[in-house]
Structure 1
Amino acid sequence: MLSEHLDFLIFVVVTLLTGLILWYRVLLSQSQAPPGPEGIPIFGSEFQIPGDKQWLKFHEWSRQYGDIVQITTMGQKAVILSSAQAAFDLLEAKGNIYSDRPKAIMAGELVGWDRGLGYAHYGERFREFRRMFHQAIGLRALHEINPIQEAETARFLLRLLESPENFIEHARQSAGAAILMLAYGYSAKSEDDPLVKIAEEAMLGFARASEPGAYIVDRFSWLKYIPKWFPGAGFKIEARSMREDLERLYNVPFDFVKSQMASGSFIPSFTSRYLLESKHLSDEQEQFIKAAAASLYSGGADTTPSSITAFILAMTLNPEIQARGQAEVDALLKMQRLPTHADRESFPYVNAIVKEVLRWNPAVPLGLPHQLTQDDHYRGFKLSKGTIVWANIWSILHDENMFPEPEMFRPERFLGDNANVMTDRTTDPSVLAFGFGRRICPGMHLADNSIFLIVASMLAVFNIMKAKDAAGPEVDFRGFISHPEPFRCVIRPRSDEAVALIRRSSLCFTTY
């Protein structure tokens, strides 16, 4: 009997000690974790994250808890970085452990974007993508791309002249046409070109599927196995439609290149270049080239139009900034020709406008998520393996310490005594707007050049004004790829000379 009591006592003591140890470990873990909002059991902060403009909620939390905030949703830890310093310290300096992607069930697995660069896991496939893009659209390759961008800019101006009210569609057409030529050697034929439309439809699905918290299957991965007729499985029907759009993006332009090459008549492009590297490509190699080309095409199909429409909105609201930019362009060009990439160093104020556009409305305010591949420590905090890491690009570019009155559109913040901002990577929107570390957008220089060329050219030949019969447009950006809410404005040629210049320039680019 005594032995049984002793055994029971030992069992109780061991159980209590084990519980105390586990409790202590939980408290220790919590004490070492970055601060953040208190969630509710099981769900964590799931219901605190809005369905749109998540970056604003994350920004609100950064004001309360600091530039490193940890939340938990459905048991998954996530850390939000809201300062350039934290983003560079972790995503750049420790890129070897912060460059993976978390599993994206909806966007990645069900829709299929995990085949391309954006959702590719960090490894050999990712590195090969980066190598290809560095060769094709890196800084050294821009001189080969400039004529394509200048030609499409001239066509964009002509479309604006003929139907200025459709400026949003024209911006999409211009960006899509330039990348189509670069990626596939395909010349877009019209405003409703089918290949441009294919990219638009696929990117709508990408943006929707990538929204944090938009689909419950991203929280409960086992739901991907339920049949589409099951109650609550509407996401599977959406995923199927999005996947069909993505398949068209992958296959239609790629098949165009192959058919042109087979006929012996094709325009050299990203796709043809890599198809020609080997005459005996395996199916796996061909699928890889197809995924790389689609990644290149989709990467700029929706982001550059976001910046162009933001520029048009900013000029509508700030006529004095527009006038100063026009004066700078006029002083050099005198309405004799359109701006070119070679003029960029001569236009410091136009460059400042471009940087302010990228800061005011970063095209992808949260970027894509990173994932930590091993435990890490930073500023006394413990960051656990498997944690999802978001860099809140919007918050970084609206940091009041770096950019006073961040809601105001003020290009002069990049001039004069602040000119060091132009080259400092930690404060330059031309860098910060495109992500961090080994996951930084490989097309950043291509996009920056395209935005500069369109901004400078529009300033050269158009006046952008408020519509007289409409209230002034509101500043409201929405979407995972952030666009201004639709607004009205007047886009009018500055003079008869401007009209003649637009028409003359568009005729100069009948071919590249």
Structure 2
Amino acid sequence: MVGAQRFSNIVSHPRFEGPVISFRSGKSFFVILNNAAAIHDLLQTRSKLYSDRPSSVMLQLVQQDRIFTRLSSQDPHFPIYRRMAQEEMGTRGISRLLPILDENIPTLLKNLLSDDENFSTHLRNCQSSSIMKAIYGYSVKSGDDHFIKIVERWWLVVNAYLRPGIWLVDSYPILKFLPRWMPGAGFWKFASATRTQTNEALSSAFIWAQAEIKGGKASPSFVSRQLARHVDSSPEYTEIIKQVTGTMYVAGVDTVLSAMRTFVLMMVLNPDVQRRGQEEIDRVIGSDRLPLTSDRGDLPYIDALAKEVLRFHPPGPLGLAHSVTEDDIYNGMLIPKGSIVVPNIWAVTHDKTLYPNPMKFDPLRYFNVQLEKKQLQPDPRNYVYGFGRRVCGGMLFADAAVFTQIAAILSIFTISKEIDQFGKEITPIVDFTGGIVTHPEDFVCKFTARSREAVELVTAAMENRQG
């Protein structure tokens, strides 16, 4: 479950052919959904049965079974989690958050102008800054920010080691009763360290926001609005706010970063696509200002480019696992209660019947020949952001962030291959890391300002932001 080629090998392996495949690992029964129809039929149409999350001994030990993305749908607090996320980041609440995305763009562009070698760091910091402001009302001052570093360290561990099937104790729960000194009980050491990191990652910025609110200095945010609505809330309700907001921050940074790194890689390898995007921006926006989130409806090619980034490599190629709450039959196949059901999003977004020539990066697949907006091929966002009752609560914010960063970068820069010491171009290899959220393997490239006026525009935008 890593790079494009390796995903292709997995999906094409005879054992994994077919819309639905199943296998047993220890005491766990896995069901993999390999096409759009199976995902729609089970995770959408039968979402009442398929909205649970698999139970996990390790998640309980590291205290991550209470975060929004992992919480069981059978938990009485689950509807509260969903309602809270919808209030703040759904269709009604998103409009007050979008200006935050625009505000952080000048800093991103300035950093890319001065240090394009570390473009991934600048992209991460941009998204971290936007989410910290939206969630906690916190303004990030530098890339070495204390709160950002706490979450980064924690996420590196979570992304690598908390996937289904990684820990034997999840397949054989009786192992949790092993004394910590016995062979095979090494998971206890990992659980203890990660539990501490989890508490720190979810609590540190939240505690800061509470103190700001108490001192009357808080900026409007997800936390401030929710606490204001529930002034006399119980400690239990305050804990729910902390869990939801912490989840939003953690989930929203790495997924957007993955998409943006894929975008940069695709621009290096597809200069014609890049030029077409720049031409649309020049024609619609001009050179006197930066693109804004509100320009999306006027930039259909950039919008399609953002979709194609998500299709070409979904940030989470294997979606978060679901669990079925009772026995079910699908096309004659028994899916037992408690089965771990995994949507193979990568397989869907590379299904030749949905997306002809799927390994070609082509934003025009979402248009007709006359370039009038028309969905000839499915919108990949229908698959990338989750399904049914488990759809991503921060989907609108994340999607707007990807569009806004893409539009702004193309308005100022041309992204191209780096040149080695012998004067030859370095062509990046298209491959991806492992984990819950996957990224392009490290590669080098150049960000070159398109003109002197582009540099001056960034300088003016920074002055306006600081003034």
Tell me the TM-score normalised to structure 2 length.
0.93
| 1:222, distance to aligned residue in structure 2 (A) | 2.1
Q: Give the secondary structure class of the aligned counterpart of 2:97.
A: helix
Map 1:425-504 to 2 at 5 A. Answer: 427-469=378-420, 471-479=426-434, 480-504=436-460
Q: Give the secondary structure class of the aligned counterpart of 2:466.
A: coil
Which amino acid letter does the alignment assign opposite residue 505 of structure 1? A
Gaps of 5+ in 1: 1-49
1:302 is aligned, of 240, 254, 261, to 254
Q: Pick closer, same or farther for the CA change 1:164–1:227 going to 2, 3 Å.
A: farther
Conserved? CA contact 1:82–1:396, under 8 Å: yes
Q: CA RMSD in A?
A: 2.1
What is the distance in 2 between the residues matched to 1:175 and 1:200? 12
Name the counterpart of 2:220. Answer: 268
| 1:74, distance to aligned residue in structure 2 (A) | 1.1
| 1:58, distance to aligned residue in structure 2 (A) | 5.0
Q: Pick closer, same or farther for the CA change 1:200–1:163 going to 2, 3 Å.
A: same
Q: Pick closer, same or farther for the CA change 1:502–1:238 going to 2, 3 Å.
A: same
Q: Give the secondary structure class of the aligned counterpart of 1:231.
A: coil
Q: Give the secondary structure class of the aligned counterpart of 2:65.
A: helix
How many residues are paired up? Answer: 460
Moved more, 203-212 or 165-174: 203-212
Q: Deviations over 1:199-255 (max 9, x none)?
A: 212222221233232222222222223344332333322222222221111211011
Name the counterpart of 2:94. Answer: 142
Name the counterpart of 1:90. Answer: 42
Q: Deviations over 1:384-419 (max 9, x none)?
A: 212111100011001011112212211111111598
Name the counterpart of 1:184. Answer: 136
Q: Deviations over 1:265-308 (max 9, x none)?
A: 11111111122223333221221111111111112021100001
Q: Deviations over 1:138-183 (max 9, x none)?
A: 1222211111000112211111112111111111111111111111
Name the counterpart of 1:70. Answer: 22
Q: Deviations over 1:47-79 (max 9, x none)?
A: xxx799885565235785311111111132111
What is the distance in 1 between the residues matched to 2:356 and 2:176? 46
What is the distance in 2 between the residues matched to 1:435 and 1:420? 28
Which amino acid letter does the alignment assign opposite residue 443 of structure 2? F
Conserved? CA contact 1:200–1:302, under 8 Å: no
Conserved? CA contact 1:467–1:490, under 8 Å: yes
Conserved? CA contact 1:51–1:214, under 8 Å: no
Q: Pick closer, same or farther for the CA change 1:510–1:63 going to 2, 3 Å.
A: farther
Name the counterpart of 1:127. Answer: 79
Q: Pick closer, same or farther for the CA change 1:506–1:230 going to 2, 3 Å.
A: farther
Name the counterpart of 1:240. Answer: 192
Q: Deviations over 1:320-347 (max 9, x none)?
A: 1111110110112221100012211111
Moved more, 371-380 or 60-69: 60-69
Q: Give the secondary structure class of the aligned counterpart of 1:288.
A: helix
Q: Deviations over 1:438-485 (max 9, x none)?
A: 111111111111100000111100010100116311000122201000
What is the distance in 1 between the residues matched to 2:412 and 2:111? 13
Q: Pick closer, same or farther for the CA change 1:319–1:411 going to 2, 3 Å.
A: same
| 1:421, distance to aligned residue in structure 2 (A) | 9.4
Which amino acid letter does the alignment assign opposite residue 508 of structure 1? N
What is the distance in 2 between the residues matched to 1:213 and 1:142? 36
| 1:427, distance to aligned residue in structure 2 (A) | 2.0
Conserved? CA contact 1:179–1:301, under 8 Å: yes
Query: Highest CA radius of gyration, 1 or 2?
Result: 1
Name the counterpart of 1:10. Answer: none
Residue 467 of structure 2 is aligned to residue 508 of structure 1: no
Name the counterpart of 1:22. Answer: none
Which has the bigger relative contact order, CA under 8 A and spacing at least 6? 2
Conserved? CA contact 1:315–1:322, under 8 Å: yes
1:393 is aligned, of 345, 355, 365, to 345
What is the distance in 2 between the residues matched to 1:505 and 1:485? 32
Conserved? CA contact 1:355–1:428, under 8 Å: yes
Q: Give the secondary structure class of the aligned counterpart of 1:102.
A: coil
Residue 288 of structure 2 is aligned to residue 333 of structure 1: no
1:220 is aligned, of 164, 172, 183, to 172
2:125 is aligned, of 167, 170, 173, to 173
Conserved? CA contact 1:84–1:427, under 8 Å: no
Q: Pick closer, same or farther for the CA change 1:173–1:228 going to 2, 3 Å.
A: farther
Conserved? CA contact 1:62–1:82, under 8 Å: no
Q: Deviations over 1:173-198 (max 9, x none)?
A: 11111111111000001011111112
Which amino acid letter does the alignment assign opposite residue 442 of structure 2? P
What is the distance in 2 between the residues matched to 1:284 and 1:119? 18
What is the distance in 1 between the residues matched to 2:118 and 2:210? 34
Q: Pick closer, same or farther for the CA change 1:370–1:493 going to 2, 3 Å.
A: same
Q: Pick closer, same or farther for the CA change 1:247–1:420 going to 2, 3 Å.
A: farther
Q: Give the secondary structure class of the aligned counterpart of 2:414.
A: strand
Q: Pick closer, same or farther for the CA change 1:418–1:271 going to 2, 3 Å.
A: farther
Q: Give the secondary structure class of the aligned counterpart of 1:114.
A: coil
Conserved? CA contact 1:51–1:213, under 8 Å: no
Gaps of 5+ in 2: none
Conserved? CA contact 1:199–1:301, under 8 Å: no
| 1:260, distance to aligned residue in structure 2 (A) | 0.9
| 1:420, distance to aligned residue in structure 2 (A) | 10
Moved more, 332-341 or 276-285: 276-285
